[in-house]
Amino acid sequence: MARLILFNKPYGVMSQFTDARSETARPTLSGFIDAPGVYPAGRLDLDSEGLLLLTDDGRLQSRIADPKFKMPKTYLVQVEGDPQQAALDQLRRGVRLKDGMTLPAEARRIDIPDLWPRDPPVRFRKSVPDCWIALTIREGRNRQVRRMTAAVGHPTLRLVRWRIGEWTLDGLQPGQWRDA
């Protein structure tokens, strides 16, 4: 039976078990997960937080991470500014990026989510409002969510992946993991 682990990756942690290329050690998955034989099914950038799935089954890993399967991934995104309907509609239709058009996304404004504080905190500016949106995509280009929100004029301030397919972050604090 395949093993599947749900992990709440903290900000600043690499989505891999070792950091051989860095002169200064950065936190990796090995500092949190002691489960031999599992590997991440996809990635989250160093400056992104949230759900990371790990498995010991290559076929399951491919089904989760490979864009051809179009598994939905939902992100809670704090953006700079106050996106109006036109910006959300643009995300819903797809956004032109340097590497081509994105697939249409689900995008909606949400209330401030009940999340853990980020360390370090997001920079607060009195003169620039911010807002939260829920964004669901079905592909996984490099830094795609950040590039999409920037393309519609609302740069990402904080990015938390909340859901991948049927699996959610519910009940997991940063650095915690559990078997699915």
In this structure, are 55 and 101 located in the same domain? no
| pLDDT confidence of residue 125 | 80
Both tokens assigned to 109: 């404004």
Is residue 156 within 8 Å of 143, Cβ to Cβ? Answer: no
| pLDDT confidence of residue 22 | 64
pLDDT, tens digit, 9 for 90 and up, residues 10-34: 999 999 998 777 667 789 999 999 9
Q: What are the catalytic residues? A: 45
Query: Which residue ranges in the chain fall short of pLDDT 50?
Result: none
Residue 116 belongs to domain with CATH number: 3.30.70.1560
User: Rounded to an integer, what distance in angstroms lies between the CA atom of residue 33 and that of residue 176?
Assistant: 9
Residue 33 belongs to domain with CATH number: 3.30.70.580
In this structure, are 142 and 157 located in the same domain? yes
Q: Which structural domain, as residue segments, surrounds residue 29?
A: 4-67+169-179
| pLDDT confidence of residue 119 | 86
Helix 144-151 × helix 85-93 angle, to 10°: 130
Stated pTM of the model: 0.94
**Residue showing tokens 């699915």:** 180
In this structure, are 122 and 138 located in the same domain? yes
In this structure, are 38 and 116 located in the same domain? no
Give residues with Cβ within 8 angstroms of 124, minimum separation 6. Answer: none
User: Rounded to an integer, what distance in angstroms lies between the CA atom of residue 41 and that of residue 66?
Assistant: 9
Burial of 41 (0-12, 13-18, 19+ CB in 10 A): buried
Q: Which residues pair with 178 in a beta bridge?
A: 6
pLDDT, tens digit, 9 for 90 and up, residues 29-53: 999 999 999 999 999 999 999 999 9
Number of domains the chain contains:
2
In this structure, are 131 and 55 located in the same domain? no
